[in-house]
A and B are shown apart, each in its own frame.
Chain A
Amino acid sequence: MSEPCIFIVDDDDDIRASLSRALRTRGYKTEVFASAQAFLDSDAADRPGCMILDYGLPGMTGLELQKHLLERGSRLPVIFITGHGGVSEAVQAMKYGAVDFLEKPFRQEKLIERIEAALAQDARSRQSEESSRAARIRLETLTDREHEIARFLVSNPAQSSSKEVARHLNISPRTVDHHRARILDKMNVASVADLVNLCIAARLFEDAAPVTTDR
Chain B
Amino acid sequence: MKLSLGLLLALCLAGLQFVAVTIVVFSSYVTSERALLEHARDLLGDVGTNTIEHSKGFLSPAKGAVELATRLAENRVIASEDFEQLEQLLFQQLQISPQFAGIFYGDKSGSFVYVMRSEGPGPFRSKIIMREGDVRETDLIWRDNQYAIVSRKDDPQDTYDPRARPWFQAAEADLTSIWTDPYIFFTSQKPGITAASPVFNADGGLRGVVGVDIGIDAISDFLSRLDIGESGRAVILNKNGDVIAHPDQDLIRRENADGTFRFVNITEIDDPVARAAFSGLLSGRDVSVDREVATRFEFGGSTYVSTIMPVISDELPWTIAVYAPESDFTGPIEANRAQNIWIAIAIAIVSGFIGLFLANYIHKPVRAFAVRSALVSQGEVLPTDPMPKTYSELTRANETLVQAIAERKRSKTEYDRTFDLASRGMAQIEARTGKILRANKKLAEMLGYEPNRLAQLTVHDISHADDPVATVFLSDVQGGGSEYVHEKRYLRADGAPLWISENVIVIRDDTGAPLHAVVTVDEITERKAAERRIQQLNLDLSHSTRVNAMGQMATGLAHELNQPLVAISQNMDTALCLLRNGTDNSDELETILRETDQSAHRAGDIIKALRGFVKKESVEKAEFDFAELVEQTLHLVRPEAKEAGISIVTEIGPLDPVYGSRVQVAQVLVNLLRNATDAIASGSDGENRVTVHAENSDTGTLITVTDTGPGFPDGTNVFEQFHTTKKEGMGLGLSICRTIVEAHGGEIWYRRDAAGRSQFCFTLAALNPKPSVHTRSAESV
Contact = CB atoms under 8 A, between A and B. Distances in A.
Interface of A: 12, 14-15, 17-19, 21-22, 25-26, 56, 58-59, 81, 83-84, 104-106, 108
Contacts of B595: 14, 17-18
Contacts of B564: 14
Q: Which 9 pairs across A and B sit closest by C-beta, in order of nearness?
A: A83-B559, A18-B570, A14-B567, A104-B562, A22-B574, A18-B567, A108-B573, A22-B570, A25-B577
A81 B565 CA distance: 13
B566 interface: yes
Contacts of A83: 558-560, 562-563
6 contacts: A19-B566, A19-B570, A21-B571, A22-B574, A58-B645, A84-B558
A22 B577 contact: yes
B337 interface: no
Contact of B569 (A17, A59, A84, A108): A108
Given A59-B645, A83-B558, A18 B563 contact: no
Contact of B559 (A19, A26, A84): A84
A104 B567 CA distance: 10
Given A59-B645, A83-B558, A21 B592 contact: yes
Interface in B300-351: none
Nearest to A107: B569
B705 to A, nearest CB: 21
Contacts of B569: 105-106, 108
B36 to A, nearest CB: 119
Given A22-B573, A84-B559, 9 more contacts: A12-B563, A12-B567, A14-B567, A18-B595, A18-B599, A59-B645, A104-B559, A105-B565, A106-B566
A81 B566 CA distance: 10
B470 to A, nearest CB: 58
Contacts of A81: 566
B645 A105 contact: no
Nearest to B580: A25
Contacts of A59: 645
Pick the most buried of A17, A25, A59, A106: most chain B CB atoms within 10 A of its CB: A25
Pick the most buried of B555, B563, B564, B571: most chain A CB atoms within 10 A of its CB: B563
A26 B576 CA distance: 10
Contacts of B642: 56, 58
Contact of B602 (A14, A19, A26, A58): A14
A108 B575 CA distance: 13
Interface in B551-596: 555-556, 558-560, 562-571, 573-574, 577-578, 581, 592, 595
B509 interface: no
Interface string B117-152: 000000000000000000000000000000000000
Contacts of A105: 562, 565-566, 569
A105 B569 CA distance: 8
B203 interface: no
B570 A21 contact: yes
A49 B570 CA distance: 20
B728 interface: no
Contacts of A25: 573-574, 577-578, 581
Interface residues of B, number: 28
A26 B645 CA distance: 35
A84 B595 CA distance: 24
Nearest to A12: B563
A56 B559 contact: yes
Contact of B566 (A18, A21, A56, A58): A18
B510 interface: no
Pick the most buried of B555, B570, B573, B581: most chain A CB atoms within 10 A of its CB: B570
A108 B577 CA distance: 11
A59 B562 CA distance: 20
A11 to B, nearest CB: 9
B643 interface: yes
A21 B577 CA distance: 11
Contacts of B556: 84
A7 B642 CA distance: 23
B312 to A, nearest CB: 130
Given A22-B573, A25-B574, A15 B563 contact: yes
A134 to B, nearest CB: 41
Contacts of A56: 559, 642-643
Contacts of B592: 18, 21
Interface in B35-50: none
Contacts of B643: 56
A48 B599 CA distance: 32
B576 to A, nearest CB: 9
Contacts of B598: 14
A14 B567 CA distance: 6
Interface string B630-655: 00000000000011010000000000
Nearest to B558: A84
Nearest to B571: A18
A121 B433 CA distance: 93
A14 B599 contact: yes
B645 A14 contact: no
